[in-house]
Structure 1
Amino acid sequence: MRVVSYGGGVQSTALLVLAAQREIPYRTFLFANTGDDSEDPRTLNYVRHIAANYAATRGIDLHILDRRKRYGELETLWGRMMRRDSRALPIPVRMSNGKPGKRSCTKDFKVQPIGKWLKFHGASADNPADVGIGISLDEIGRATNRHSEPYERIHYPLLELGLRRTDCIEIIRKAGLLVPNKSACFFCPFKSRNSWAKMHRDRPELFRKACHLEDILNIRRRHDHKDPVFLTSTGRPLREAVTRAQDELPIDVGCDSGWCMT
């Protein structure tokens, strides 16, 4: 069994094009959806309409996987945090010193849904699936940190081909596809201040929703006599941090296939 863990960003979309061109031996792509209320809407639109249509016309199976509880109930990352009785902090919120806290979002909403699909279709420790990951040469450090599960063998087709992010963009454009945006949950604390500022400017309703999440988390933290947490590394609430940072913003760096290590 060969599949690609599809993130909906530049690198993994380049893998989709390469698969369609028979340059790499993958015909199944798996996109783990953290939730329609959690993923960046632009990513969901790209995956469902652009990537899915491209895959379907080229004989590639692209599956969108949701997280399901034991009895089939749909669970989203946003829903887990916003549940009235929840104290969950599954995302890597920033502590007062700017460092990210522990997270379970990647494991619960990315790794597990894909793993469940693989095992249902026959993958096991004795018969592991080959799983392609979209990591390019210029972010090779991410490959060394990618943990593999017993039922999978991890492969890095872009590294094997010696391709960088710029090469991926060119591959996508030559295929006649739009280049996707950076993929991640819209409230991801790994987002740069530049990205937050663009959201504040271009998608104010989504920005306000992220601010609301931060407010809710800290109302609960105060009730439990705990230190506040933030969605940026500034140690200030999101609405303050981005407003003060807009004059001098850092360069927006990072991978385009998501911060989830998938």
Structure 2
Amino acid sequence: MTAASIRAVSYGGGVQSTALLVLAAQGRIDFPLFLMANVGDDSEHPDTLRYVREVAAPYADDHGIELVVLDRVKRDGTVETLWGRLMREGSRSLPIPVRMSNGAPGNRSCTADFKIRVIGKELRRRGATAETPATVGIGISLDEIQRANTRRVNDYERVVYPLVGIGEETGLKLRRDDCSRIIAEAGLPVPPKSSCFFCPFHRPTAWADLAREHPDLWQKSIELEETLNQRRDMLGKDHVYLTRFGVPLREAIDTEQPLLPLVGIDGECDSGWCFT
């Protein structure tokens, strides 16, 4: 594959980017390469990892599509995970959008460090340059079109949004429900929403789901929040939280609350590289 012909989807393992995988398999869009930046087997939601490995990867292989799962590899050759960076002894790093006491998200670098740069490194390895940029498709649907951003890109890539026809004359104007239907009609199970299991952008219902369905990950999220605040106590800084409610996670979430329909997302990640 020459640099001029690189056409890759940033694959997140969620509904929208899986719909792109089906559309590519059906020949409705031209993207023969799908790249997933894995922020870590200890960081990604296990349901997403299971879906990618047991459903998406075999489907891609059956339809002649290359689906590659990429790790963040440091210069010394070791793999760094987002959980590992957060929990490293003595670390002061806060790469995730933790919530301040007023509920507002803080600065984050997780998307840039563990997704955008990881995929960018692979694109450049394959020959993408400023002179011959790769076309990178991102799974943003019509109901989340405010997340589409064609300005904040690197010179080796041209970002497009095939589900809504931004940057590509696809003729598609698809919503999340349309994406779910496309996946189901292809005979595939509809994937869960993709994200790190401890993401501060989770809605309260997602936290409650985590507590019921993955109590081990619920406890790890509590441990993460407590660890971050122990460090901040040592530095004389205010506490931070994994929800917008300004109280510890174990107090913020009613783990018995009933399931509610998903309405949008509580926050967003840069360039649409998460939650797709």
Normalising by the smaller structure, the TM-score range is over 0.9
Secondary structure of 1:214's counterpart equals helix
Query: Match for residue 254 of structure 1?
Result: 264
- Are residues 69 and 167 of structure 1, via their aligned partners in 2, closer, same or farther at CA, if it must alter by over 3 Å? same
Q: What's the CA shift string for 1:3-30, capped at 9, x where partnerless?
A: 0000100000000000000000011000
- Residue 243 of structure 2 is aligned with which of 229, 232, 243? 232
Give the unaligned 5+ runs of structure 1: none
| Counterpart residue number, 1:59 | 64
- Per-residue deviation at 1:164? 1.0
- Does the 8 Å contact 1:2/1:28 carry over to 2? yes
**Deviation for aligned residue 1:254:** 2.7
Distance 2:159 2:200 in 1: 26
- Say whether residues 1:156 and 2:161 are aligned partners: yes
Change (3 A) 1:102 1:31: same
- Residue correspondences, number: 259
SS at match of 1:3: strand
Which amino acid counterpart does residue 130 of structure 1 have in structure 2?
T
The aligned amino acid for 1:82 is M
1:168 is aligned, of 169, 174, 179, to: 179
TM-score by length of structure 2 reads 0.90
Partner letter of residue 224 of structure 1? L
Report whether the alignment pairs 1:111 with 2:112.
no
Specify the alignment match of 1:212 in structure 2. Answer: 223
Tell me, what secondary structure is at the counterpart of 1:153?
Answer: strand
Match of 1:75? 80
Distance in structure 2 (CA, Å) of the matches to 1:145 and 1:218: 36
Structure 1 runs, 4 residues or longer, greater than 3 Å off: 245-252
RMSD (Å) for aligned C-alpha atoms: 1.6
Q: Secondary structure, in 3 states, of the residue corresponding to 1:144?
A: coil
Residue aligning to 1:120: 125
Match of 2:206 among 190, 195, 201: 195
Name the amino acid aligned to 2:239.
P
Q: Secondary structure at the match of 2:253?
A: helix
> What is aligned with 2:91?
86
- Answer whether contact 1:193 1:249 (CA < 8 A) is retained: no
Q: Is the 8 A contact 1:17 1:172 kept in 2?
A: yes
The TM-score with structure 1 as length reference comes to 0.95
Of the three residues 187, 190, 197, the one matched with 1:179 is 190
Q: Deviations over 1:204-251 (max 9, x none)?
A: 1110110000010001010111000000000000010003x8558875
Structure 2 unaligned residues grouped into runs of 5+: 1-5, 166-171
**Which of the numbers 18, 28, 32 marks the counterpart of 1:23?**
28
More moved, 192-201 vs 11-20: 192-201
**Given residue 199 of structure 2, which amino acid in structure 1 is its aligned partner?**
C
Identical pairs, percent: 59
Contact 1:138 / 1:164 at 8 angstroms: preserved in 2? yes
SS in 2 for 1:140: helix
Contact 2:205 2:257 in 1 (8 A): no
Instruction: Return the alpha-carbon distance in structure 2 between the equivalents of residues 249 and 214 of structure 1.
Output: 24
Q: 2:124–2:156: 8 Å Cα contact kept in structure 1?
A: yes
Q: Distance in 2 between matches of 1:194 and 1:75?
A: 30
Q: Does the residue aligned with 1:31 lie in a helix, a strand or coil?
A: strand
